[in-house]
Amino acid sequence: MLTLPRRPRRLRASPALRDLVREIRLDPADYVWPLFVSEKVTAPNPVPSMPGVNQWPLDQLLDPVRQAHADGVRSVLLFGIPAHKDEAASGAYAEDGIVQQAVRLLKKALPDLVIITDVCLCEYMSHGHCGITRQVGDHYKIENDASVELLARTALSHAKAGADIVAPSDMMDGRIGALRAALDQAGQSDTILMSYAAKFASAFYGPFRDAGESAPQFGDRRTYQMDAGNLQEALREVELDVEEGADLVMVKPGLAYLDILRAVKETFGLPTAIYNVSGEYAMVKAAAQNGWLDEQTVVMETMTAFKRAGADLVLTYWAHDLVRWLNKGTL
């Protein structure tokens, strides 16, 4: 009997056939739009290193979010930039803090919008670190437990303002358990915890630190963010956060850590997020502006890679653009 060779190319012969057998499909519901809201600006302030990204004043935040929501963006992630910083990060957990005000504003106008808040202290600390610092000789030390107390206060203030999901990004030890306990004890047990569970010390964060005005004033964050060479440690970090009560887990950054994403998803099976970070965004934007890459095609390919590696949701500055492209059926 004659055995004929299979010809996989037959299934690639037309756009309709390729779409028919596509394994990974992109859904507008998968994308979270990070936003920067600032007490220091009175008009949208473009971030030079992140073309298309602005710092928004509170009184002008609603219009872009309302439009994005109408287009299909279902979730946003809020970062706050206070007018004043101090060494106790008091703006992070103030009842009238910039994030707390933004949550109330958006939730009142768009009650079905999923509002996620970044829970960290770096934007509010005068020194830019993610926790309380203490000088030890010529070096500094992050006071873990004291920092966790402030993080719990911050998360609780966000939940009381109406946040659906609080997302601690600090990488302090034990903070997921502390936040879960604080939320539950205050009657906020329905508030979801999304942990930046495997957050690596990365050069890809540079543009974000411009946007969030959160660069450390001394040292770096390598004593609490993870080393890029460690996969097994990442799995241990995620396991601890899952045991302490995380509902969702995140890997950050994105493209250089797809192996971490795959391992986390396969090991734990929880809803898993990936953060398509500022440096990844800025590189593609710069290349596209120079005519070296087609932005939309590259972004779609990147998002497919995240989904293929196991991401259930993607935090990306392209979220609004993505839902518009997907609504047009553009792949």
Residues annotated as part of the active site? 199, 252
CB 209 within 8 A of CB 201: no
Which among 71, 96, 72, 70 has a CA at the least distance from the CA of 83?
Answer: 96
**Six token digits for residue 284:** 């593609």
> At which residue do the structure tokens 């797809």 appear?
258
Q: For residue 186, which amino acid is it?
A: A
The span from the CA of 274 to the CA of 315, in Å, is: 6
H-only helix segments in 162-257: 175-185, 206-212, 231-244
Rg (CA), the chain: 21
Residue 130: its H or E element: none
CB 310 within 8 A of CB 265: yes
CB 76 within 8 A of CB 32: yes
The span from the CA of 163 to the CA of 19, in Å, is: 37
The span from the CA of 271 to the CA of 29, in Å, is: 14
Count CB-CB contacts under 10 A for residue 276.
27
Q: Indicate the pairing of strand 272-276 with strand 313-316.
A: parallel
Which among 68, 95, 66, 91 has a CA at the least distance from the CA of 80?
Answer: 91
Query: What is the distance of C-alpha 227 from the center of its chain?
Result: 19
Query: What is the distance of C-alpha 261 from the center of its chain?
Result: 14
Question: Quick check: bond before 253 cis, omega within 30?
Answer: yes
**Six token digits for residue 65:** 């979010």
